[in-house]
Amino acid sequence: MMQPEMPICNTCGEQVGFGSDGNSVFVSCHECNFPICKACLDYEIKEGHTHCIQCGSPYDHGTMTIADVAEKEPVAHTSMGSHLSNPQDSGLHARNISTVSTVDSEMIDESGNPIWKSRIDGWKDKKNKNKKKVTKVPKEVQVPTDQQMDENQQPGEPNAMQPLSQIIPIPKSQITPYRIVIIVRLIILGLFFHYRITNPVESSYGLWLTSVICEIWFAISWVLDQFPKWYPVNRVTFTDELSRRYEREGEPSELAGVDFFVSTVDPLKEPPLITANTVLSILAVDYPVDKVSCYVSDDGAAMLSFESLVETSEFARKWVPFCKKFSIEPRAPEFYFSQKIDYLKDKIQPSFVKERRAMKREYEEYKVRVNALVAKAQKTPEDGWTMQDGTPWPGNNPRDHPGMIQVFLGHNGALDVDGNELPRLVYVSREKRPGYQHHKKAGAENALVRVSAVLTNAPYILNLDCDHYLNNSKAVREAMCFFMDPQVGRDVCYVQFPQRFDGIDRSDRYANRNTVFFDVNMKGLDGIQGPVYVGTGCVFYRQALYGYGPPSLPTLKPASSSSCCCCGPKKPKKDLEEFKRDARRDDLNAAIFNLKEIESYDEYDRSLLISQMSFEKTFGMSSVFIESTLMENGGLAESANPATMINEAIHVISCGYEEKTAWGKEIGWIYGSVTEDILTGFKMHCRGWRSIYCMPTRPAFKGSAPINLSDRLHQVLRWALGSVEIFLSRHCPLWYGWGGGRLKLLQRFAYINTIVYPFTSLPLVAYCTLPAICLLTGKFIIPTLSNLAAVWFLGLFLSIITTSVLEIRWSGVSIEELWRNEQFWVIGGVSAHLFAVFQGFLKMLAGVDTNFTVTSKQADDLEFGELYMIKWTTVLIPPTTLLVLNLVGVVAGFSDALNKGYEAWGPLFGKVFFAFWVVLHLYPFLKGLMGRQNRTPTIVILWSVLLASVFSLVWVKIDPFVSKNDSTLNQGCIAIDC
């Protein structure tokens, strides 16, 4: 009866068995109750391993039992599931230990091959296979480095283990006033709306009602944006401690492997030289060479991308050793050589100047070769491209071509000029055929996940856009300080770095840097459940991408779980069934299964759970890939055959591989929106994972951003459209994932804010139109203010200003950055966000896909010349209209006041202030329309004239020069004159 409750041996997978008394469960270590059977313990001692694998305590000759341990201290029985969730063990990243051997040893046969084809029949031979493996597995088991005691360390000395990262809370002198002002502002908002609702303006009821509705929506948006910033935190990492712990001199590095993903589509729009600089910065990263692999996804199957990568791999043989020899920063040659700094600073080697000049000459020659390839690719031959051997390029038709994989560098590839090994560099172009949905960037990223799992299977993945290079060569080490910290990394699904940009004008006219978002909002989320995923500069835990839940997911209820074999009856089967249902209920069944739960299942349920059929329905028809998903700490399976790895990799990127699987639905990058990054991070947080925000002193990554007005609005339009698509999907944060309570409330507020912000454009356009209407009609949205009402208005303005000042104080952003963000919130809201709402509804409800194209003009070849480029697009129409409308309204208002006399000037100032608020926020837009030296596009002039004419006619129709009481006055004047 007690068989199902018997712990499982961590080494051989058999039940631990009973002790010498025949009644109590055998225990090898009386300190931590680590599950290991008597046979495996005897073998360990025979091999000279006299200390516990888990805690390092000496074995007590294997004579202890559960009953003996209970006399010292009552403990719950330890299973493999609890071992996997142990904070200390979660820091183990040795490649020779994986969940294939620890969770279910029957998943691998004697020769190390996966038992998929035999399915359930293989379970019948479980005992025989495990007995044969008993003498093999223990040799691979090692004590984690972070649990080893130094030989010179005395027992009385404190533990030498230091944290790899630390949270630095915001000082109370800064955060406490900030929170108080937020609460005060919330109270003032309530009193303000009480006044606004109870004091309607009868003479202009429609305008008053419109303004109140808009103000209520703005208040809701403020709450969704403000309260997720309630717990901002700063973090600091200790990379030196990471090296001391995992990179001991004379021993192989124990740092975890990282697979880099770089995505590109069209080399004519995304210059190959920019992509090459990103790749070169990755290959030269400050990290063990055998732990780094770079996968470049060419989703356009362009021969130009392939040939430029050939040139890049050859140049890398010279560039990588140069960077490592002289500690170059940054390690992207284009940006290193263009720095306007003293490059001799901290470079004391006599040969540096000579080698730097030689390397710069090599890079210039490399650029010439790459630019020649670009020039050649400008005109495609009629018969398509041909390779050097004369065969046609397989990707001549970018919409119908086979999958292509080419390994340029790697463990068996070319060495650098110093004879050292280089990181692996792999070119990948997934198969595309007509009639298949390929899901753009998200589909390309998922293809890279599968290819990398087959070829290298590093436990961590770092994805970058092709124009984001490593600005800090130690960025990966910064991320590993969180992942490899046993106390922090257990439940971390990804580490997000802020985006920083090159080539932006000093004033940052259109808020391209997004400083407020990256330095304020993301810090706030880091104190809750973690920052959102922003699409690039992010290091993922591979298992989280596979849909697994974190180790700390709720286990069986304490009342239902047995503490020891003699402490109560067997747990009822009913509780287990309820637990299974709860773990898979509603939308939270996204977690395929939690590795901790396996030990709670009986043999039949376990066989169904990890059978071939269940895995193939989830991950697809690839036994090699399926086996890799079970390797929690990465590494290639013993059954991996190098001769067939490329064929298997080609198989997993076939266009039909994802059909009838969970790819894009529950695992990998999630489909359904052009902003797949938001969806992917949201699903992980809903499963209970948390993320980390890492802001090293030297920015980890840098990229390029569109700095002219039209391109910036077009970028914002795409982001807003993605948010609308998520709002109209089943993954909307308003209703998705409430059942399990794994997504914290303030975190949900943040996600709701990311998908509803485009809808703010509707009340914002209305609110920006109200000043002009009030000036043209002589009416106003606010009645005559009483002294108490004036206090509420004054208090509201002061609370807004105080909140911003205190936010600047703890975040470190400047007043200018905050103001630019406020301006572009209005500019984007009345243009790109407005179009995104209509386009999203047309696309999701009517199936009409409307694209707002942008046409370019040439810019001056000067610094920031692109800033003055004018690209006409329909997105520019609404803000242009609002500008003209408010300027016409101001002219009309002053004309009316001059006509009516002194009494009209008082009400005029309130209306004009309101109009100038709109014009001031739209001023960067107006300046962008004017371009350099006031060369405004003809289309803008035509629109301005047309709109001015229309509103002038409206003004004449309203006739503001004559008031309603003028008729009696005129009659009197006529009588006197007579």
Whether residue 340 is found in the same domain as residue 424: yes
Instruction: Show which of 705, 738, 771 is a domain's final residue.
Output: 705
The whole-number pLDDT of residue 926 equals: 81
Q: Which domain holds residue 276?
A: 240-379+388-550+664-705
Whether residue 404 is found in the same domain as residue 294: yes
Read off the tokens for 11.
């080494």
Residue 118 is assigned to a ligand binding site: no
Q: Is residue 978 part of a domain?
A: no
Question: What would you report as the CA-atom Rg of the chain, rounded to the nearest whole angstrom?
Answer: 33
Read off the tokens for 939.
């289309």
Whether residue 449 is found in the same domain as residue 349: yes
Q: Under a CB-based contact definition with an 8 Å cutoff, are residues 780 and 910 in contact?
A: yes
Q: Is residue 582 part of a domain?
A: no
Partners of 409 in the β-ladder: 425
Mean pLDDT (10-residue bins), the chain, 978 residues: 56 69 70 74 70 68 42 35 33 29 34 36 39 36 38 39 85 92 94 90 87 93 93 92 88 91 89 93 93 92 91 92 90 90 71 88 93 88 81 87 87 78 92 88 92 92 92 93 87 93 83 90 92 93 89 51 40 45 40 47 54 72 84 76 82 89 90 88 91 93 82 88 90 84 89 93 92 84 80 89 91 90 91 89 72 41 52 78 85 76 70 87 81 53 60 57 45 41
Instruction: Show which of 16, 45, 61 is a domain's final residue.
Output: 61
Residue 105 is assigned to a ligand binding site: no
Angle between helix 761-777 and 905-921 (nearest 10):
150
Taking the C-alpha atoms of residue 811 and residue 814, their distance in angstroms, rounded to an integer, is: 9
Q: Cα-flanking dihedrals φ and ψ of residue 661, to 5°?
A: -125, 180
The whole-number pLDDT of residue 451 equals: 94
The distance in angstroms from the start CA to the end CA of the chain is: 120
Q: Is residue 322 part of a domain?
A: yes
Residue 299 is assigned to a ligand binding site: yes
Whether residue 668 is found in the same domain as residue 766: no
CA atoms within 13 Å, Cβ hemisphere of 258? 29
Taking the C-alpha atoms of residue 960 and residue 542, their distance in angstroms, rounded to an integer, is: 68
Of 144, 107, 137, nearest to 256 (Cα)? Answer: 144
Instruction: Show which of 30, 61, 92 is a domain's final residue.
Output: 61
Looking up residue 22, the CATH number of its domain turns out to be 3.30.40.10
Whether residue 291 is found in the same domain as residue 432: yes
Q: Is residue 10 part of a domain?
A: yes
19 Cβ neighbours under 8 A, 6+ residues apart? 25, 26, 27, 63, 64, 65, 66, 67
Residue 270 is assigned to a ligand binding site: yes
- Residue 299 a catalytic site member: yes
Residue 440 is assigned to a ligand binding site: yes
The whole-number pLDDT of residue 940 equals: 56
Given the residues 146, 259, 491, 677, select the one marked as catalytic.
677
Given the residues 299, 416, 485, 519, select the one marked as catalytic.
299
Whether residue 818 is found in the same domain as residue 684: no
Taking the C-alpha atoms of residue 74 and residue 59, their distance in angstroms, rounded to an integer, is: 19
Q: Is residue 97 part of a domain?
A: no
Q: How many domains does the chain have?
A: 3
Quick one: DSSP state of residue 611? S
Partners of 228 in the β-ladder: none
Whether residue 396 is found in the same domain as residue 532: yes
Whether residue 358 is found in the same domain as residue 426: yes
Residue 269 is assigned to a ligand binding site: yes
Of 189, 204, 87, 198, nearest to 144 (Cα)? Answer: 87
Whether residue 699 is found in the same domain as residue 763: no
Whole-model pTM: value is: 0.75
Taking the C-alpha atoms of residue 403 and residue 425, their distance in angstroms, rounded to an integer, is: 17
Read off the tokens for 557.
């209820």
Of 329, 255, 321, 325, nearest to 292 (Cα)? Answer: 255
Whether residue 353 is found in the same domain as residue 495: yes
Q: Under a CB-based contact definition with an 8 Å cutoff, are residues 424 and 389 in contact?
A: no
Phi-psi region of 479 (alpha: psi -120 to 50; beta: other; left: phi over 0): alpha
DSSP structure string for 398-464: TTSB--EEEEEESTTS---TTS----EEEEEE--B-TT----HHHHHHHHHHHHHHHHT--SEEEEE
Whether residue 686 is found in the same domain as residue 832: no
Looking up residue 669, the CATH number of its domain turns out to be 3.90.550.10
Q: Is residue 146 part of a domain?
A: no
Q: Is residue 366 part of a domain?
A: yes
Of 599, 566, 571, 570, nearest to 69 (Cα)? Answer: 566
Whether residue 668 is found in the same domain as residue 776: no
Q: Is residue 262 part of a domain?
A: yes
Q: Cα-flanking dihedrals φ and ψ of residue 538, to 5°?
A: -135, 135
